[in-house]
């Protein structure tokens, strides 16, 4: 078993770190909010670190799952950042959804310091993290990727190396682009059914078995119909991710007209007070317009 540090015990990180401990790894955790870190240690044992540097010291693998570009820079290269204490030949595995730009910056810095960096954003939501069934998309050196597979296996249903540094983040952008369009389409279908006086549940039972079927339809249609939006990835986080997608699209010359439109629809949801609603709340925007 390996010595692993885990930085960030949020909705996703808390259960992911737990899976590492249950798999028998020697886990050290760090979290900016002490109450969460204390709760995790009370549940799983292992060691609690006071800083990212303290967590990284003497560990073979350092795993992060934080909020955004600046959060990642902070735990890596900020005051008491993990990079200052990582040992030669160690590997930093980042599960945060961030820009490919910051990922590549940190990859170069890590290599100069004598250790490795893999970008490994995740998909599957809180349920995927709790159930150890996440999809993990990786970018970085092929030989390093082979070393991290046994670590990520503790909480992944599928894990693939897509390409060089930044490829994992670019793949996560593809994931978010696809989800944005799917959720808007499902929202419009269910809203149309409501206005037409049809039974949305009966409709989904039929169309989900055909070409319209998707994970979003299977897992979110009932809560969408019932107006319950506390079951997944928050609108604020989705807008952060779509902003990364749209900025990157401008850099590489990709056209994302639907994504840009849905991003503005999520802005409308925020203006309705739905910042922490899950992404399926696009249907509530349509109800408000009707």
- 10 Å Cβ neighbour count for 188? 13
Helix runs in the chain, H state only: 13-22, 34-44, 52-56, 69-77, 100-113, 125-131, 142-152, 167-195, 200-207, 215-226, 235-252, 257-271, 282-289
3-state SS assignment for residue 103: helix
Q: Which of 172, 195, 218, 240 is catalytic?
A: 172
State the Cα–Cα distance between residues 42 and 155, nearest whole angstrom. 20
172 catalytic? Reply is yes
State the Cα–Cα distance between residues 33 and 264, nearest whole angstrom. 32
Q: Torsion angle, CA of 98/100/101/106, rounded to 10 degrees? A: 80
State the Cα–Cα distance between residues 21 and 214, nearest whole angstrom. 33
| Closest to 284 measured CA to CA, from 231, 225, 240 | 225
Each as own residue / partner, the long-range contacts of residues 215-223 (CB below 8 Å, 24 or more positions apart, any chain) are 216/179, 216/182, 216/183, 216/186, 216/280, 217/186, 219/127, 220/183, 220/186, 220/278, 220/280, 221/186, 221/190, 223/280
Task: Please say whether the beta carbons of 41 and 64 come within 8 A.
Answer: no
State the Cα–Cα distance between residues 139 and 275, nearest whole angstrom. 30
Residues known to be catalytic = 172
């Amino acid at each position: 078993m390996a010595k692993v540090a885990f930085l960030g015990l949020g909705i996703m990180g808390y259960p992911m770190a737990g899976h590492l401990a249950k798999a028998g790894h020697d886990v050290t955790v760090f979290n900016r909010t002490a109450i969460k870190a204390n709760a995790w240690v009370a549940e799983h044992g292992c060691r609690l670190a006071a800083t990212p540097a303290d967590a990284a010291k003497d560990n073979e693998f350092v795993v992060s799952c934080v909020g955004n570009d600046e959060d990642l820079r902070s735990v890596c290269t900020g005051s008491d950042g993990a990079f200052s204490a990582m040992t030669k030949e160690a590997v930093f595995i980042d599960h945060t959804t961030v820009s490919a730009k910051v990922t590549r910056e940190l990859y170069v810095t890590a290599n100069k310091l004598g250790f490795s960096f893999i970008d490994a954003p995740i998909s599957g939501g809180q349920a995927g993290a709790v159930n150890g069934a996440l999809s993990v998309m990786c970018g970085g050196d092929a030989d390093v990727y082979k070393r991290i597979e046994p670590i990520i296996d503790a909480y992944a249903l599928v894990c693939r190396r897509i390409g060089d540094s930044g490829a994992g983040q670019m793949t996560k952008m593809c994931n978010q682009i696809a989800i944005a369009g799917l959720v808007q389409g499902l929202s419009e279908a269910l809203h149309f059914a409501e206005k037409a006086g049809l039974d949305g549940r009966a409709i989904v039972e039929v169309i989900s078995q055909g070409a319209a079927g998707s994970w979003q339809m299977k897992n979110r249609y009932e809560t969408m119909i019932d107006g319950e939006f506390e079951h997944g990835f928050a609108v604020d986080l989705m807008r952060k991710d779509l902003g990364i997608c749209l900025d990157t699209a401008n850099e590489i010359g990709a056209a994302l007209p639907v994504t840009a439109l849905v991003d503005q629809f999520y802005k409308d949801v925020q203006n309705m007070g739905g910042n922490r609603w899950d992404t399926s709340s696009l249907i509530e925007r349509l109800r408000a317009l009707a």
